[in-house]
Amino acid sequence: MAHGTDDPTWTGPVSALAEELKKRFSCPVALGYLEATKPDIPGAVDELNSRGVNRIIAVPLFISSYSNHIEEIRYILGLKDTPPGGENLVKADPAGEVELTRAIDDNPFLVETLAEQIVAMLDATTGFTNIFSRKTAILAMHGSDTPEGMEGWERATNSLEGRLYRTLSAQGWGFERDDIRHGYLFEKADPQLGDVVYHAIFNEGKIPYVIPVMLSEGYFTGSKIPSILKPVENMYRYPEKGKRSLITFDKKALTKMVVYRAANSLWMPPLILKNGRIVEFSLDRVYEISGEICPGRIMAWRAASYGLAKLWGDTVVNPSDLFVVSMFPPEAEHKELFDWLAGVDNVAYIGQSYRGMAEITPTFSFIDRATGRFITVRTKKDIFGGDEFFELKNKAQAGKITREEGARLKRLKEELLLKLMTTPPDMLFDVVSASL
């Protein structure tokens, strides 16, 4: 679901994104706009009804879950009884359950994209000397015109900043935590973008790198932000035209953001008993545990979700009853996930080295210690794109990969990442052996 406009330069990329998602997911996908253009949200729901859909996962293509429009969407989908602000909105008529996911908010792939934008700007100015310069990254956000909305914006934005700081620090770019800031464009929102930028320049002597956090380029990125900062136009850095929004900077990044939100709800997460509480082992939990989303971690999450569902169904899993065996070596990317899931003493990593990775490596066993039942699953070879992936991965581990091969491996990893989030479990894994 997107806002909508009569400008085809905005709706065109959104429609293209929807078409890509239709190719990636095996379940039906429909696009609905909130206003100004067709198809609208009720029309998208009607399309899904006609295809026999009885559970809809609605993903809002908005920067913030606290956008003024999210409550309108909730009403349209039947998740809210009264229309906000007396709006004259047409309600949809879904045939079954509707789940509204969070908007982009502090999505891991937004963090990744913002880090890439900032690094690209640093490289474009003075390169790695920026590690030692006095700089600050300032996120330019819409904000809300209500106190309740602003409270939500602040929570999500502070989380986003913390995640972005950890990512940039891990890359060695020399940012302090308070060097990652934000400013809002709505007049009633605090802090105001202009105030934050002026303070950095005149009170701290820093160079602000201003990053618009917006879906598409247009009035805000081309006119509003530059006009606010006109008095200091030569004293801050700003992305060049064509790199000022998520859609124009990296179309694939926006695909990953939407897929992430959908996958977090689509593949029912197992329920785990942790410290006396029942928690979901969701994709959000994976990021919370590891601080990064990568193919190895998503693979382990999908394998565990599949294996635990086969053993425990929809009942709560007690980690003391679970034992996990991974064919990966102990330094596997997913180690912290399985250690969290079952406990450090209840996981065995039996692979010898990443340098000999083969199609047998992505194999996982899940054992119910209380009953002796088990299941062993292996990720299907074609999910990786064939032998080429393993060959390039092993070259990279041995330090013998060329620049061109490295770029090819990066593309294969990105494709693998999307396949792991969108492929149904029976198409993703082979059951090697089981006693159920």
| pLDDT at 398 > cutoff 90 | no
- Minimum mean pLDDT range among 69-83, 88-102, 306-320, 350-364: 350-364
Average pLDDT of the segment spanning 2-11: 84
* The total number of residues written for the chain in this structure: 436
The rounded distance, in Å, linking the Cα atoms of 90 and 348 is 55
The rounded distance, in Å, linking the Cα atoms of 249 and 239 is 10
| pLDDT at 191 > cutoff 80 | yes
Cα dist from 366 to 153, 174, 349, 431, whole Å: 40, 42, 12, 11
Residue-level pLDDT at 354: 56
Average pLDDT of the segment spanning 160-189: 92
Neighbours of 339 (CB within 10 A): 16
Residue-level pLDDT at 99: 96
Q: Per-residue pLDDT tens for 76-107? A: 999 998 888 767 889 999 999 999 999 999 99
Report the mean per-residue pLDDT for the chain: 91
Q: 348 and 324 in contact (C-beta within 8 Å)?
A: yes
Neighbours of 435 (CB within 10 A): 12
Q: Per-residue pLDDT tens for 121-171? A: 887 665 444 444 688 999 999 998 888 889 999 999 999 999 999 999 988
Please, what is the Cα angle at 384 between 381 and 389, to 5 degrees?
Answer: 110
25: which residues sit within 8 A by CB, 6+ positions away? 262, 422
| Amino acid identity at 248 | T
Average pLDDT of the segment spanning 8-23: 89
**The pair of three-digit structure tokens given for residue 334, joined into one six-digit string:** 């997913």
The rounded distance, in Å, linking the Cα atoms of 170 and 112 is 12
More confident position, 240 or 356: 240
DSSP-derived secondary structure for 276-335: TEEEE--HHHHHHHHS---HHHHHHHHHHHHHHHHHHTTSPBPGGGEEEEESS-TT-TTH
Query: Scanning the structure block, which residue is given the tokens 């990512």?
Result: 167
Q: How confident is the model at residue 268 (pLDDT cuts 50, 70, 90)?
A: confident
The interaxial angle of helices 251-266 and 403-422, nearest 10 deg, is 30
**The pair of three-digit structure tokens given for residue 52, joined into one six-digit string:** 């026999």
Q: Which of 115, 140, 116 shows the shortest CA–CA distance to 222?
A: 140
Provide Rg for the chain, Cα atoms.
Answer: 23
Average pLDDT of the segment spanning 192-197: 97
The rounded distance, in Å, linking the Cα atoms of 313 and 267 is 13
Please, what is the Cα angle at 214 between 210 and 217, to 5 degrees?
Answer: 90
DSSP-derived secondary structure for 230-280: GGGTTSSB-PPTTSSSHHHH-HHHHHHHHHHHHHHHHSPPPEEEETTEEEE
Share of the chain above pLDDT 90, in %: 71
Residue-level pLDDT at 129: 44
Q: 148 and 191 in contact (C-beta within 8 Å)?
A: no
**The pair of three-digit structure tokens given for residue 424, joined into one six-digit string:** 């149904």
Q: Mapping DSSP to helix (H, G, I), strand (E, B) and coil, where does residue 27 land?
A: coil
197: which residues sit within 8 A by CB, 6+ positions away? 138, 183, 208, 210, 229, 232, 236
The rounded distance, in Å, linking the Cα atoms of 414 and 435 is 34
Q: 76 and 42 in contact (C-beta within 8 Å)?
A: yes
112: which residues sit within 8 A by CB, 6+ positions away? 167, 253
Q: Give 3-state DSSP helix, strand, coil % of the chain, rounded to 5.
A: 50, 15, 35
